[in-house]
Each structure stands twice: as structure tokens, then as C-alpha cells.
A and B are shown apart, each in its own frame.
Chain A
Amino acid sequence: MSAPQINISDVASLARLTLTPDETAKFSAQLSQILGHMETLSQIATGAVPEVTPPAQPALRQDIPTPSLSIEAALSNAPAQANDLILVPRILE
């Protein structure tokens, strides 16, 4: 069975990655192979296997406030800031 094709430039643009033609070819082959493994897995008949119910409730949090960072600490790694806001390139609508 042939490995499924993946549009690597589409995936790269969604991830904001710029790939060289070499990288594109290399990653296309690698990711197609991974998808091929998934196809193999999906051929296993699981219809009769009951869905696994999570055994227990995961840890949930009570709705009680805990201390936040200080404004100074929160902003300490921001490349640019003004009026206690983190500055970013202008967001265009």
C-alpha cells in the first residue's frame, strides 16, 4: 500500500516555518511514513473493543484564588512593554 501524501508546504505555513526545497522533500517523506504507520493502526478492527472510560476523576482545582506573579516579574522577559502591557507588532484586522 502506498504511503499517503502530505502537503508539507501547507503544514509548514500553518506552523510559520520556512523550509528549503531540500527540507521540504525530506520532511514530506518522513511525515508520509508516519501517516503510513497511522493507516496501518487504523486497519485494526476495534469495533468490538469497548471504549476505555477514564478510571478516576483527574485532579480538579477548587475555585480559590492563589497568588499571581508581580507585574514586574510578569513583564521581565517581555521584549517591549508600555503601561504594563506587553507590546507586540501591530495586529492587523
Chain B
Amino acid sequence: MSTPAKWEAVIGLEVHVQLLTQTKMFCGCTNHYGDAPTSHVCPVCLGLPGSLPVPNEEAIRLTLLTGLMLGCTLAPVARFDRKNYFYPDMPKNYQISQYDDPLCAGGQVPLDPFLFPKEIQDTAEAKAGRAIRLTRIHLEEDVAKSFHFEDRSGIDFNRAGTPLMEIVSEADLRTPGEAFSFLGSLRQVLLAGHVSHADMEKGQMRCDVNVSVRPIGQKEFGTKVELKNLNSTSGVRRALTYEIARQITACEKGEAIAHETRRWDDEAGATFTMRTKEKAHDYRYFPDPDLLPVRTDQGLLEAARTRLPELPSVLQARLIQAFGVTAYQASVLGADRILCAYFEKAAAQAKSKATVANWILNDFLSTQPDPATTPILPEFFGELADLVADGTINSAQAKKVFAELMANPASPREIVKRLGLAQISDVSALGTYCDEAIAANPRSVEDYRAGKTNAINALKGFVMKKSQGKANPLQVDEILKAKLSA
């Protein structure tokens, strides 16, 4: 038995999500990345005097849709506030955000056990089926992108003013693995609703982490540390693993944890002090006088409701129930809606739907296909599974058909004809092969009869070779056993 751990971590996440809109949050400039610097700016997003913001209704709908998908309470009236601070990437010297009356409050993210890191998916931690409560979801504007040169910084305002949704969790997470699954599970929901591409490595989803440690059983939280510069879900996990160990070591030595912001350095595999918070930030929030309260109950909420997708948990349950796939397969299919639609088409008419899942997830996926454009019709996999199920071909032949299907896409039935692969199930023909095998391998026959049952494999091999792999292996087994014990 291992010694029970004396410490536990308390983790809360703040996740920023870029929304899939055509235009910015408060002006009609294009919301698109990778274009020439300073090419998507106007007086509003440059904060020029006299310009006025007008909210993008699509950004509000997408935030409400996210709230619906995550079971939040949606505000009938929401307000925008100014968050005041000075930084060159924010031209107005305030960020329009939401403080007292965010669009969404509460809600939760259920942790998908298969979105935990692979090596801990079998542990109680992953299987616990926890749901992490959310505090709120609000809508704000993103800041510009900065580039740092030797003696100056350069600012590209294309990103300034683009819609940014902030999802704040309660301090419910206890392990780096849970934080990893939280981000993956949240991403699946965002993808299902077409709210965002939510790719952390592309900055479409960004995450700040608050973490503290406390002795197990203690109710009060320890001093929390904020972690920044986390650019991937695995980075979040690594940073948390490091930081929790650092804090426990310090606590065991009796050192105080400083309330500070630390920067994760992925290469060094460590966190470093960024700035000590001498006092809490004073953002002097106040209601933005340029923006009237938004009534979500006048059409916006209804519009969001009509877009509710099948949620990942519902989709997975349906796949397991209707197609007999495993929970793991359901999670893989659920994570890729295009692949999932491909599978559903493939399995629709097939007799053994679970076999179709095996073909697609094991064999087809390993060829790294693009299910949206592949010339291989999904129905072909249903046909292939049926050919094996009804005994037309054996599984070894099916592998050949699959290889040919990838090389020269055609109906598996045609491929079977073309390659002359149909399995021999004719009892008299198989009997002849078996007689030949027995006559040609007297030693194996003797061994088998002496009790070495494995010796039958040599005879089976002979038959398969003679029949050029076309013999039905199950029938060969039966016939050989019958003849040998006669």
C-alpha cells in the first residue's frame, strides 16, 4: 500500500475562447487571423475619439448557445462594463467586458473519461465521472497582438476588438489530469456548437490557471498562484504537475507561498515568478455608458436555442446504444463529427455495426484519411463487414480487400470478384483439401492423435496454402477434427 498523500491541489481555470464570427465584437472589421498587420482596423477598434461601439449580435448568440450547451442560467438582461488598465495592446485604455451582469451564470462541464491523458484513462480518477461547476461565462473584446523586439514592441491591432468569450470555472478541479480533461471536454462542446475552433496551440482557446495546495481535510484554501503562458492542454497538465509539487515542497519546509503570477516555461519544464501582486488589481469597473443593456429575451435566446446541437454525451450514448460500439469508440467518433457522420452512414445498413466501427477506427483511420473528401464511400465499409459476416470472405481476405479498397476504391463485392477472393465453403471441396493435408503430413497427424492439439495448425496451413487462402478457416477446422478423430 502506498502512503496516502497528505496534500491536495485546488485548481480553477479561466478559459478565453475566440468566437467564430465574421466580424469584430463592436465594429464591422473582419475577424480573421494571419492577414497583413493593421489591415482590419477602424476608428472603433483603434479607440479613436468620437467612435461608438455597436455589439455584434452573432457573438451574443454564440455565447448564449454556449451557456445553453453547458447548462448555465442565462440572463434576460446583460450589461457591458469597462475594465480600466493601461497596456499598449488595448487602444482605449479600457477593455469592454462584463462584470455584474454576464450573459451566463453557473453551468458545468462533465469530464469525459476518454479525454483524460491516455495513460490514466483506466484509473479511478478518470472514471469518477465528475462534472466541474462553472462560475460564469461572459463576453468581452480581445486585445491586440504584440511582437517584442530588442528595444521596442510592435502592435498589430487586427485582433483588437475581436469577440472573446471567457469561461470561468469554480475551484473544483483537483488534479492536472482533471484540468486536461476539462479543456478537452469543453472543446468538444464548443466544436459541437460551431462556437469556436478552440485550438489552444493556435491561440483560439487560451487558459489561465489558479492553483493552490492544502492538507487533505482542510476546508480553507491555500494561497493561490496564477499560471500564465500555457499554450496546449498537455502544457497545462505539465505546468500544474510542476507547480503543485513546488508548492507542496515549499509547504513541507514551512515556507509561505507567495501570492503571485508565475510564467510556465515549457522548455525548462518549470514556472518562474512574473510579478508579485502587491495589491489586487484595481480595474475600476463601471457600466459602459456607450452601450445599453442587452435584452436576451427578445429573440437572441430563441435564435440560440434553435442551434442547439446533439451534445457530446448524448451523441456518445446514442452511438453505444444504436451501433454497439465501445465507450472508447464512441468518444473517438464523438470527437470528430465528420468522421462520426461517415461512420453512421457506413453502419446504417450493415449487419454487424460494431465491426464497421472496428474497420473505420482501426484500419481506415490509420491511413489518415480526410472523411470529408475521401473517394471511399462509407457504404463500402458496411459491405466489407457484411462480406465477412456472411462468410463470403474470411478475415485474412478482408484485409486484402481493404488494402485494395484503399488503392483502387471500388465496391468490396467487386474487389472480391476482381481478385478472385471468394472464400471456399463447399464441404466436398474442402474435404478434398483436408484429405490431401492428412496424406502429406503423417507426422503432424501422429502428433495430433498423440494429444498435441497444436499440430492441427500445420494441417490447416497446408489447406490454406493449397486453396490460396480461400478456404473457410472455421469449416476447415471442423472437417479436419472430424477426419482426425475418425
Shortest CB distance B94–A (Å): 12
- For the complex, is A60 an interface residue (Cβ under 8 Å from B)? yes
* B57 adjacent to A58 (CB under 8 Å): no
Chain A residue at smallest Cβ distance from B57: A60
Q: Which of B38, B56, B157, B274 contacts A63 (CB 8 A)?
A: B56
Known: A69-B41, A86-B155, A91-B153. A63 touches B57 (CB 8 A): yes
Q: Which of A58, A62, A68, A87 contacts B40 (CB 8 A)?
A: A68
Chain A residue at smallest Cβ distance from B85: A14
- For the complex, is B33 an interface residue (Cβ under 8 Å from A)? no
- For the complex, is B125 an interface residue (Cβ under 8 Å from A)? no
Number of interface residues of B (CB under 8 A): 54
Number of interface residues of A (CB under 8 A): 34
- For the complex, is B399 an interface residue (Cβ under 8 Å from A)? no
* B23 adjacent to A82 (CB under 8 Å): no
B137-179 interface (Cβ within 8 A of A) = 146-157
Could you give, for residues 67-93 of chain A, a 1 whenever the CB lies within 8 Å of some chain B CB and a 0 otherwise?
111010011000010111111111101
Interface-located stretch among A22-30, A31-39, A40-48, A49-57: A49-57
Known: A54-B293, A58-B294, A61-B28. A90 touches B153 (CB 8 A): yes
- For the complex, is B328 an interface residue (Cβ under 8 Å from A)? no
Known: A53-B77, A57-B298, A91-B88. A85 touches B154 (CB 8 A): yes
- For the complex, is B54 an interface residue (Cβ under 8 Å from A)? yes
- For the complex, is B322 an interface residue (Cβ under 8 Å from A)? no
Known: A56-B295, A63-B21. A85 touches B37 (CB 8 A): yes
Shortest CB distance B163–A (Å): 10
- For the complex, is A64 an interface residue (Cβ under 8 Å from B)? yes
- For the complex, is B284 an interface residue (Cβ under 8 Å from A)? yes
Distance, CA A93 to CA B272, complexed state (A): 12
- For the complex, is A18 an interface residue (Cβ under 8 Å from B)? no
Interface of B is mostly: loop
- For the complex, is A65 an interface residue (Cβ under 8 Å from B)? yes
Residues of A within 8 A of B36 (CB): 71, 84
Residues of A within 8 A of B263 (CB): 93
Distance, CA A72 to CA B150, complexed state (A): 25
Could you give, for residues 1-27 of chain A, a 1 whenever the CB lies within 8 Å of some chain B CB and a 0 otherwise?
000000000100010100000000000
Chain A residue at smallest Cβ distance from B263: A93
Distance, CA A10 to CA B263, complexed state (A): 28
Chain A residue at smallest Cβ distance from B292: A58
Distance, CA A64 to CA B41, complexed state (A): 15
* A85 adjacent to B38 (CB under 8 Å): yes
- For the complex, is B22 an interface residue (Cβ under 8 Å from A)? yes
* B38 adjacent to A84 (CB under 8 Å): yes
Residues of B within 8 A of A62 (CB): 57-58
* B292 adjacent to A74 (CB under 8 Å): no
Interface of A is mostly: loop
- For the complex, is B117 an interface residue (Cβ under 8 Å from A)? no
- For the complex, is B42 an interface residue (Cβ under 8 Å from A)? yes
Q: Which of A68, A80, A90 contacts B42 (CB 8 A)?
A: A68
Known: A14-B282, A59-B54, A91-B146. A64 touches B23 (CB 8 A): yes
Residues of B within 8 A of A16 (CB): 86
Shortest CB distance B160–A (Å): 11
Shortest CB distance A16–B (Å): 6
Residues of A within 8 A of B408 (CB): none
Shortest CB distance B150–A (Å): 8
Shortest CB distance A31–B (Å): 13
Distance, CA A64 to CA B23, complexed state (A): 6
Shortest CB distance A13–B (Å): 10
Distance, CA A68 to CA B54, complexed state (A): 15
Distance, CA A53 to CA B60, complexed state (A): 19
* B54 adjacent to A75 (CB under 8 Å): no
Chain A residue at smallest Cβ distance from B89: A91
* A65 adjacent to B151 (CB under 8 Å): no
- For the complex, is B29 an interface residue (Cβ under 8 Å from A)? yes
Point out which of A54, A86, A90 has the most chain B C-beta atoms below 10 A from its C-beta.
A86
Shortest CB distance A27–B (Å): 16
Shortest CB distance A85–B (Å): 3
- For the complex, is B291 an interface residue (Cβ under 8 Å from A)? yes
- Name 7 extra pairs, CB < 8 A, besides A54-B293, A66-B29, A91-B148: A16-B86, A59-B54, A61-B56, A64-B22, A65-B30, A68-B39, A90-B150
